[in-house]
Amino acid sequence: MKPNKLPFIIYFAVIVVAIALFRPSHLTTNMLSIFEHDENIEKLQTLNSFENTSMLFVTIEGFNPKNLNRLKEIEKKLKKSKYIKETKLNLSKIEISDYIKKNYYLLSEFKPIPLDNQNIKERLTKLRASLVDSFLYQPIDKNDPFKLFDFNIFTKDNLSKDGYLRVGDYGYLLTAKLKGNATDMRVAKEIEQSIKDILADQSDDVVAFSNLFFTAQNSTYIKKSVNTIMFFSFGLLIVLFFITLRDYKVLIATMLTLGGSIFVALAISSFVFEELSIFALAFGSAISSISVDYLFHNYFHRQYLKKGINKSIFIAFLTTALGFVFLQFVSFPLIVQLSFFALVSLSFSYFQFTFIYPYFKFAPKENRLSLKALYNIKPFLPVNLVFIFSIVAIIYAGFHIRFDYDLKNLDYDNQSLKAKQAVIQNNMPSKSTILIEANSIDELIEKASILQKKIPSFNSVAKIALSNQEFKTKREKLDSFDFKKLKELLNQNAKAIGFKDGYFMEAYSFTEQIPKSYSPDLEAFKDMGYEIIKRGDKFYTIATMNKNEKIEPMDGVYIIDAKELIKSTTQNMFDSLLLYLSLSFVSVFIIIAWVTRAKTILALDFILFPIAMILLYLSFVGINIMHLFSIIIIIVAGIDYGIYMSSDAKSDETKEAIFYSLLTSFSGFGILVFSSIGAMHSIGVVITIGILAILLLVISLKSKPTYNQPSFKQE
């Protein structure tokens, strides 16, 4: 076997292994998968598991018969859709589930009365008077004339007008339960399209909103935006390589290398991680693109025409890789995933740029665009001053920066949908969501029941369910009451007071039919909007209450405020992240100090100055999780450039290599600064500031005369 073929054999072997290991199903767009799986995230995931959470709201401004009829027409069409479970508009539509019919008297509040003749006489007299004199028609319930059983699950909310649902003073409201999870992108798109078709013949005044539309529309917008950005990005790269470098072979080879590295990293990561976040892929790819500096450094130093490897590049690669190894221990899934991804990708890129590219003997073209004007600028920034400024700026930013924990800010700013959401939300009573957790269904109902009794606006499964203890108590109460005697006294006195003879013959006979056993019917509960689910070995249900009401701390009862939960989790993750980032930094610092010796400060400037500039900017707008990860990308680039610059700062080749690396990074990811999607803009802005900061250093940083360190001597 000829030695020069070995790298190609390894290359293809790696690709084959990667294809075999690739697990596309492990890729997830679930935002929650990027967080440490702690109890907060577990709660949010539990909340996402409830089916009843996807609702469609349709309304038209103004209470008039025309609008009402239009909503009725829409309702008819919605009912035919396979994605609609149940609609609600006309509240007078009477549908009582078999479960309620069966357990009506058990679920009712039972109010016993004293069983003496005088009391019964008085009650019958009052009953007669109410039939004759009352302004309200009060027909007698022959089964329960004294109203000993009271069942009322109706809400006190001001949600109806003329027997129809309404949304505040805006208009009548039609609601529909959607069959589909709000986080499933494909299903969300299908449902949105189907609803769009149903509403196609309606004018624009129909407001139709569902949280699920955010999933559907935003993913479409994001895809569209990514396509546009990719188009520009690709265009820029072509301009870069064709017009400036005038070397199409390098373009093709680089694309193949980066594409291959990203695929191998993706395949192996998808095999290693059961849930691989799409963000790990995005950031991992961005970090991978940084590896293009290995190519440019070799290329401009004409390393591919020489024998051996460039030691600066090797050290830069090793330093970065070591940093990522430390990040493997962070309890932050996205960091772990993307650092693993980056490790694999950078390693494979390094392997190709170092061992395969010499075979092609790439070298810069003589007719490439001259960057002389750029190198001729006289450096004016003192190394030490930049270092001190960076440290001071980082400390200043550290005190002034605030974290933006709202994940919604990372999404596409969907103004038209937000306006529709506002119509519904601003006109509906503000509610808190409460997640109740228990080891058994019975314990769950018991907890809900305790809260139901304490909090007037509490709306939970306890309205229609009984715990074992409640059933037992209710049965004992019923069994201890003498219904036979009541019936006797009733019939004895009724005729004398004026009631028709035998009118109450069947009164309270139903009490013999009240069930002697009780079991919760989860399907019936779900149909009535009170879902109970099992996750792991625990049972959960959701309840709501008015925002202004307080809840006493209780085991297994959580008020769900997504923003707060994510904030708390992110804060915990940051502690771990800071620890391991510090370890990474120390290791990187040691290597840099060891290899760059007297030029350590200069090398560190390339890491600290971009960070300082980015943090200064972020101290004005707030830092989010995407900014944070993008900073890591810039650090990776800074490590490489710092090592190159300190090894041979005066070399025009090094500057040219860095310039093209920066331009490639900007084409690939800095361009995202123009995106209107929060997450992408955040990445773009950090990378652009970072790139500009590094470019400023490359052009204007004063440097001491070059040391001819043996370890950095170009071979």
Task: State the DSSP string of 194-228.
Answer: HHHHHTTTS-TTEEEE-HHHHHHHHHHHHHHHHHH
Separation of alpha carbons 223 and 228, rounded Å: 9
Comparison of 152 and 480: residue with beta carbon closer to other proteins: 152
Comparison of 141 and 488: residue with beta carbon closer to other proteins: 141
Minimum separation from the CB atom of position 164 to other proteins (A): 8
Q: Which residues 245-304 are close enough to bind other proteins by CB under 8 A?
A: none
CA neighbours closer than 13 Å in the CB half-sphere of residue 365: 13
Separation of alpha carbons 397 and 392, rounded Å: 9
Tell me phi and psi for residue 141, to 5 degrees.
-85, 105
Residues in CB range of 515: below 8 A, 6 or more apart: 102, 103, 106
Query: By CB under 8 A, is residue 487 in contact with other proteins?
Result: no
Minimum separation from the CB atom of position 125 to other proteins (A): 12
Comparison of 4 and 69: residue with beta carbon closer to other proteins: 69
Minimum separation from the CB atom of position 512 to other proteins (A): 16
Determine the interface stretch with other proteins among 95-103, 180-188, 217-225, 611-619 (rule: CB under 8 A): 95-103
Minimum separation from the CB atom of position 155 to other proteins (A): 6
Minimum separation from the CB atom of position 128 to other proteins (A): 7
Q: Which residues 10-69 are close enough to bind other proteins by CB under 8 A?
A: 63, 65, 69
Separation of alpha carbons 647 and 596, rounded Å: 7
Choose which of 62, 112, 163, 382 interacts with other proteins (CB under 8 A).
163
The separation between CA 96 and the C-alpha centre of its own chain, rounded to angstroms, equals: 37
Determine the interface stretch with other proteins among 10-18, 90-98, 176-184, 443-451 (rule: CB under 8 A): 90-98
Q: Which residues 130-149 are close enough to bind other proteins by CB under 8 A?
A: 131-132, 135-144, 147
Comparison of 159 and 583: residue with beta carbon closer to other proteins: 159
Total chain residues near other proteins (CB under 8 A): 45
Q: Which residues 105-124 are close enough to bind other proteins by CB under 8 A?
A: 105
Answer left, alpha or beta for residue 528, where phi above 0 means left and psi between -120 and 50 means alpha.
alpha
Separation of alpha carbons 465 and 474, rounded Å: 12
Which amino acid belongs to residue 336? V
Choose which of 25, 118, 158, 708 interacts with other proteins (CB under 8 A).
158
Q: Which residues 331-350 are close enough to bind other proteins by CB under 8 A?
A: none
Comparison of 149 and 660: residue with beta carbon closer to other proteins: 149
Comparison of 163 and 259: residue with beta carbon closer to other proteins: 163
Query: By CB under 8 A, is residue 93 in contact with other proteins?
Result: yes
Separation of alpha carbons 423 and 586, rounded Å: 53
Minimum separation from the CB atom of position 38 to other proteins (A): 40
Choose which of 119, 155, 370, 425 interacts with other proteins (CB under 8 A).
155
Which helix (H) or strand (E) covers residue 167, if one does? strand 164-167
183: how many CB neighbours lie within 10 A of its CB? 20
Comparison of 112 and 502: residue with beta carbon closer to other proteins: 502
Which amino acid belongs to residue 521? D
For residues 238 and 246, the answer to whether their CB atoms sit within 8 Å is no
Comparison of 126 and 402: residue with beta carbon closer to other proteins: 126
Comparison of 92 and 367: residue with beta carbon closer to other proteins: 92
Minimum separation from the CB atom of position 513 to other proteins (A): 12
Comparison of 87 and 225: residue with beta carbon closer to other proteins: 87
Which helix (H) or strand (E) covers residue 175, if one does? strand 171-178
CA-wise closest residue to 87 among 160, 178, 168: 178
Minimum separation from the CB atom of position 181 to other proteins (A): 30
Angle at 502 between CA 500 and CA 507, to 5 degrees: 110
Minimum separation from the CB atom of position 171 to other proteins (A): 14
For residues 176 and 55, the answer to whether their CB atoms sit within 8 Å is yes
Q: Which residues 369-398 are close enough to bind other proteins by CB under 8 A?
A: none
Separation of alpha carbons 624 and 407, rounded Å: 8
CA-wise closest residue to 591 among 655, 658, 647: 647
Which amino acid belongs to residue 235? G
Separation of alpha carbons 426 and 537, rounded Å: 38
Minimum separation from the CB atom of position 498 to other proteins (A): 6
2: how many CB neighbours lie within 10 A of its CB? 5
Determine the interface stretch with other proteins among 129-137, 185-193, 250-258, 272-280 (rule: CB under 8 A): 129-137
Q: CA-CA distances (angstroms) from residue 199 to 58, 59, 181, 189, 636?
A: 10, 12, 21, 15, 51
Separation of alpha carbons 7 and 11, rounded Å: 6
Comparison of 226 and 497: residue with beta carbon closer to other proteins: 497
Minimum separation from the CB atom of position 99 to other proteins (A): 12
Minimum separation from the CB atom of position 101 to other proteins (A): 7
Minimum separation from the CB atom of position 64 to other proteins (A): 9
Determine the interface stretch with other proteins among 98-106, 335-343, 385-393, 686-694 (rule: CB under 8 A): 98-106
3-state SS class at 543: strand
Query: By CB under 8 A, is residue 156 in contact with other proteins?
Result: yes
Residues making up the chain, counted from first to last = 715
Minimum separation from the CB atom of position 458 to other proteins (A): 15
Positions touching other proteins (CB under 8 A) are 63, 65, 69, 72, 90-96, 100-101, 104-105, 128, 131-132, 135-144, 147, 151-152, 154-163, 498-500, 503
